[in-house]
């Protein structure tokens, strides 16, 4: 079988029937950076822009088979992971990644929908931290997701955020980009936390606009930039610029 030589980002995520988040948002974002997408669908969801009405998880062996087929068919330069849902799905994704040569992997730990519905089983958080995070280049939790991953109460205190992010990194995780969209103030600051380095803030004005799928968008943009050869700091900066531009256009 011939392999496509065009650069692809493998998107491992759930669908969103509203088109506001999930795979639809990921493909749109990757395309904006001139790359192709290939897919491993982890779940099919029934959503509007206001609520998740139904979730159907894909069988773990089907998720793994999709990933293997994508790798066999395409020149994959990066992987973006979104909704996983279950321990078995996490194990399936981790098994495929562990069997491949290392490449940039960005994990957006989708733990709940914007409307508050849980999208990752409670017993899966420990598996995510133990099995999958060590295989990733970057994890992009928002503040509620950082709290759930760390097993602590939600905080907007910068010192506490850095402490919890460092603990996750030191436990075997990769770099973390902690998104500050749930904090207060007229500027939104995301913090890049890595072992042995000073936290690096990425700030932008906080815009008065609502848009679903910005977490998907940011993680996909960073994965695309890493796949194009950017270092991590540059990829994060360009990913942030892309999201800010989208939000700015939506406000007009």
Helices (H), the chain: 22-32, 60-73, 87-98, 124-127, 143-150, 158-170, 214-227, 232-251
The pLDDT, as a whole number, for residue 243 is 92
Helix/strand/coil for 42: strand
Mean pLDDT per 10-residue section of the chain, whose length is 252 residues? 83 92 94 97 90 91 98 97 93 97 94 60 84 96 90 89 92 88 69 94 79 90 98 97 88 65
Q: Of 198, 151, 200, nearest to 180 (Cα)? A: 200
Total domains present in the chain: 1
The pLDDT, as a whole number, for residue 174 is 84
Dihedral pair phi/psi, residue 140, rounded to 5°: -120, 65
Q: What kind and span of H or E run contains 7?
A: strand 4-16
Residue 233 lies in a domain: yes
Q: Of 45, 47, 27, nearest to 36 (Cα)? A: 27
What is the Cα–Cα distance from 180 to 187, expressed in whole angstroms?
9
Residue 200 lies in a domain: no
Helix/strand/coil for 153: coil
The pLDDT, as a whole number, for residue 1 is 55
What is the Cα–Cα distance from 165 to 30, expressed in whole angstroms?
27
Residue 137 lies in a domain: yes
CATH number at residue 113: 3.40.1190.20
What is the Cα–Cα distance from 228 to 208, expressed in whole angstroms?
32
What is the Cα–Cα distance from 91 to 100, expressed in whole angstroms?
15
Q: Of 131, 97, 96, 126, nearest to 111 (Cα)? A: 126
Range of the domain at 17: 4-142+211-251
* Total Cβ atoms within 10 A of residue 13: 28
Q: 189-214 b/e with 16+ CB inside 10 Å = b?
A: bbbbbbeeeebbebebebeeeebbbb
- pTM, to two decimals: 0.92
């Amino acid at each position: 079988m011939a392999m496509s030589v065009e650069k692809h980002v493998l998107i491992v995520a759930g669908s969103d029937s509203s088109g506001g988040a999930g795979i639809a948002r990921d493909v749109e974002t990757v395309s904006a950076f001139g790359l192709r997408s290939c897919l491993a669908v982890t779940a099919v969801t029934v959503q509007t822009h206001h609520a998740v009405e139904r979730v159907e998880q894909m069988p773990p062996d089907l998720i793994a088979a999709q990933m293997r087929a994508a790798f066999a068919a395409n020149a994959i330069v990066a992987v973006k992971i979104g909704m996983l849902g279950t321990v078995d799905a996490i194990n399936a994704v981790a098994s495929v990644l562990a069997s491949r040569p290392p490449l940039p992997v960005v994990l957006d730990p989708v733990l709940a929908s914007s409307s508050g519905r849980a999208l990752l089983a409670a017993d899966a958080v420990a598996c995510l931290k133990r099995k999958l995070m060590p295989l990733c280049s970057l994890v992009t939790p928002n503040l509620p997701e950082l709290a759930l991953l760390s097993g602590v109460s939600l905080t907007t205190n910068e010192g506490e955020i850095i402490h919890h992010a460092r603990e996750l990194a030191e436990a075997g995780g990769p770099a973390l980009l902690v998104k500050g969209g749930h904090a207060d103030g007229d500027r939104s600051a995301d913090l890049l936390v890595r072992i042995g380095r000073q936290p690096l803030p990425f700030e932008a004005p906080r815009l008065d606009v609502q848009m679903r799928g910005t977490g998907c968008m940011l993680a996909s943009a960073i994965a695309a930039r890493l796949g194009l050869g950017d270092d991590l700091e540059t990829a994060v900066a360009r990913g942030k610029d892309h999201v800010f531009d989208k939000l700015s256009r939506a406000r007009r």
